[in-house]
Chains A and B, each alone.
Chain A
């Protein structure tokens, strides 16, 4: 299965959520590959706490591969290369967790057919080994995004190939909802790119789901909230829901919600069950990740919230 992670703005928690989903999926017994397509600033190495890959690799990462400068991209087994002790352990029944890093100093490029061919070949190669491949795209419109859409379009991907899911991450604020909707539906957005790549509108939108990240609840105001604060929050939430619905990002598109996690405000990292045990992280966070991970690999649950 191929999962693409996209977002309009930076700071949505797209990469960190995707890394956490990768980790959770591997706990669920899936062999997981994480492809860092954020060519301008690869970050997955830092999130998985792999010191040698903090800003990507110098030895032929995904960017080099796509540009035809490497016959196969460098990869790293996350559990054996991470600095984080608890992440090194592979629980029984869990699957592989592998990072395909980007390149140090990679950058935007102008897209050619050759790049699209490479991307399609890359997905093919990775899918031969892994159950789930998460492709983390940079924020906003990018060549990597366009290239990915072309590579998974019906023109290039066999009909019977494994499932594709397209995730759109946005934070739960007015600006973010408007921006995410714009990226998906406005001109030169994801949908119009997909249509140009050969998708039918309905067929592509069936793949897309949104993830609302860092959604606060009343506790964000502090330990004690006033009645006014509660009312305001509830009203704001309603306004946002109406806005999201009117912008085509309603409940029918929603894959899940992740709560505001203070740990992630300081440091983008994988939140593990031990962090909850040590009371560093909120249980709601790991629960949200796990629920999402389960939904992603369960076709019925996924299709279940199709409109």
Chain B
């Protein structure tokens, strides 16, 4: 039947306006986040900063040596995320000078510096976080989603299962029994996790439907955005959602005047990478657990996935389909 095409001549007219063409990115094999500090830690003494970078150094070297590159010479880039979303200290030049100097002295080269605020909202006003928020899909209840139920409207929380007790108002005369929490993908036992994604500092009476300006994103949510950015998975019209700007030699006094991502090492390997490693103080363990939960519910644009798969395939770089499998962590011991 299909062979019986009445008009087998090749077509003359062609009109195809693909809304979005996904750009192939220059990619490293591994993006390493070299430590993290809260803004007040950056403000205070130099010693704790120096100590953390010194502890990062051997693990960074190990990462460089073990990067999965499919036989190519490994390309590894490093990055540092500045916490300017929850705390706002107005002395960027001084802090950046100190940070770059101390890391250099510890033998850790920072290639790229990014602002955490940019993971929520870009310098040009574009809502970066929305790219993740609109692509999160809540897990269906077991045998509870047949395509005839509208997606649960995002409450600002993301869980991996069912809470221990129905928290909603019970319907009149509906029976009420206590049930334990339950992780949908559990293996014998549950680790139930419910992560706050944002709160609405809303104006009184304001609703949380689309009034994104009112949202204050949580630390795990922005950290998830940051991971997806590094992995090249967040795009706006096929381009990376956050772009890299070369350092122009001068830091602006106000953080919100600084570019979203600055390339501070001119000879650095590409910022975006197939995989990521985050070397962080141990206190970030719950945050990264939450990041994983968020990323597990993130549905990437299939065209972006395809573009990355193609690039990896061409160079024989193994790339796991599950995004969380592209993430790795090293947690530095606490104390001094």
Binding site for B on A (CB under 8 A): 60, 68-72, 107-110, 113-114
Cβ of B247 to closest chain A Cβ, rounded Å = 48
7 closest Cβ pairs, A-B complex: A107-B172, A108-B172, A71-B150, A107-B171, A71-B148, A70-B148, A110-B169
Q: Are A68 and B173 in contact (CB under 8 A)?
A: no
| Known A68-B150, A107-B172; 11 more pairs at CB < 8 Å | A60-B148, A68-B153, A71-B147, A71-B149, A72-B148, A107-B171, A107-B173, A108-B171, A109-B171, A113-B207, A114-B153
Binding site secondary structure of chain B = loop
A107 contacts which chain B residues (CB < 8 A)? 171-174
A30 to chain B, nearest CB (A): 29
Q: Are B173 and A69 in contact (CB under 8 A)?
A: no
Q: Which residues of B contact A70 (CB under 8 A)?
A: 148-150
Residues on B lying within 8 angstroms of A by beta carbon are 147-150, 152-153, 169, 171-174, 207
Q: Cβ of B149 and Cβ of A69 under 8 Å apart?
A: yes
* A residues in contact with B172, CB < 8 Å: 107-109
Closest-by-CB residue of B relative to A67 is: B171
- Given the complex of chains A and B, what is the CA–CA distance between A172 and B152 in angstroms? 47
Can you spell out 13 A-B residue pairs with CB atoms less than 8 angstroms apart?
A68-B149, A68-B150, A68-B153, A70-B150, A71-B149, A71-B150, A72-B148, A107-B172, A107-B174, A108-B172, A109-B171, A109-B172, A110-B169
What separation, in Å, do the CA atoms of A115 and B200 have in the docked complex? Answer: 20
Chain B residue contacts of A68, Cβ below 8 A: 149-150, 152-153
Give the chain B neighbours of A60 by CB distance below 8 A. Answer: 148
Q: Please, which residue of chain A has its CB at the minimum distance from the CB of B172?
A: A107
Task: Give complex CA distance A71, B153 in Å.
Answer: 13
A122 to chain B, nearest CB (A): 13
Q: What's the Cα separation between A68 and B147 when bound, in Å?
A: 13
Chain B neighbourhood of A72, CB < 8 A: 148
Residues of A within 8 A of B147 (CB): 71
Q: In the complex, which residue of chain A has the Cβ closest to the Cβ of B149?
A: A69
Q: Which chain B residues lie closer than 8 Å to A110 at the CB level? A: 169
A169 to chain B, nearest CB (A): 24
| A108 nearest in chain B by CB position | B172
Rounded to whole angstroms, the CA-CA distance of A60 and B153 in the bound complex is 18
Return A17 CB to nearest CB of chain B, in Å. 27
A107 to B152, CA, bound (A): 21
In the assembly, what is the distance between CA of A60 and CA of B147, in Å?
A: 12
CA distance A70 to B150 in the complex (A): 6
Bound-complex Cα distance A24 to B169 (A)? 41
In the complex the two chains form, what is the Cα distance from A60 to B172 in whole Å?
A: 18
Measured in the bound complex, the distance between the Cα atoms of B169 and A68 in whole Å is 14
Task: Write the chain A residue with the least CB distance to B169.
Answer: A110
Give chain A residues whose Cβ lies under 8 Å from the Cβ of B150. 68, 70-71
Q: In the complex, what's the smallest C-beta–C-beta distance from B98 to chain A, in angstroms?
A: 49
Bound: A108/B169 CA distance, A: 11
CA–CA, A113 to B173, complex, Å?
A: 23
Chain B residues with Cβ below 8 Å from A69 are 149
Which one of B169, B171, B174 has the greatest number of beta carbons of chain A within 10 Å? Answer: B171
In Å, the complex CA distance between A72 and B173 comes to: 25
The distance in angstroms between the C-alpha atoms of A26 and B172, with both chains bound, is 36
Alpha-carbon distance A114/B149, docked complex (angstroms): 15
Nearest residue (CB) in A for B144 is A69
A73 to chain B, nearest CB (A): 10
Q: How far is the CB of B202 from chain A (nearest CB, A)?
A: 13
Shortest B206–chain A CB gap in Å is 11
Neighbouring A residues of B169 by C-beta, 8 Å: 109-110
> Which has the most chain A C-beta neighbours within 10 Å: B147, B150, B169?
B150
User: Given the complex of chains A and B, what is the CA–CA distance between A72 and B147 in angstroms?
Assistant: 11
CA of A71 to CA of B207, assembled, Å = 22
Bound-state CA distance A69–B147 (Å) is: 11
CB distance from A212 to the nearest CB of B (A): 32
Q: Which residues of A contact B174 (CB under 8 A)?
A: 107
CA distance A114 to B152 in the complex (A): 11
A219 to B171, CA, bound (A): 47
Nearest A residue to B153, CB-CB: A114
Nearest B residue to A70 via CB reads: B148
Q: Which residues of A contact B149 (CB under 8 A)?
A: 68-71
CB proximity of A119 to chain B, nearest CB, Å = 14
Residues of chain B lying within 8 A (CB to CB) of residue A114: 153
A contact residues around B153 at 8 Å (CB): 68, 114
B147 to A, closest residue via Cβ: A71
CB distance from A246 to the nearest CB of B (A): 36
**Shortest distance in angstroms between B15's beta carbon and chain A's nearest beta carbon?**
32
Residue of B nearest to A68 (CB): B150
Contacts of B152 in A (CB 8 A): 68
How many Å from the CB of A166 to the closest CB on chain B?
Answer: 26
> Which chain B residue shows the least CB distance to A60?
B148
A108 to B173, CA, bound (A): 10
Shortest CB distance B257–A (Å): 39
A60 to B149, CA, bound (A): 9
A40 to chain B, nearest CB (A): 8
CB of A31, distance to nearest CB on chain B (Å): 25
Q: Which residues of A contact B207 (CB under 8 A)?
A: 113
> Whole-angstrom distance from the CB of A128 to the nearest CB of chain B?
19
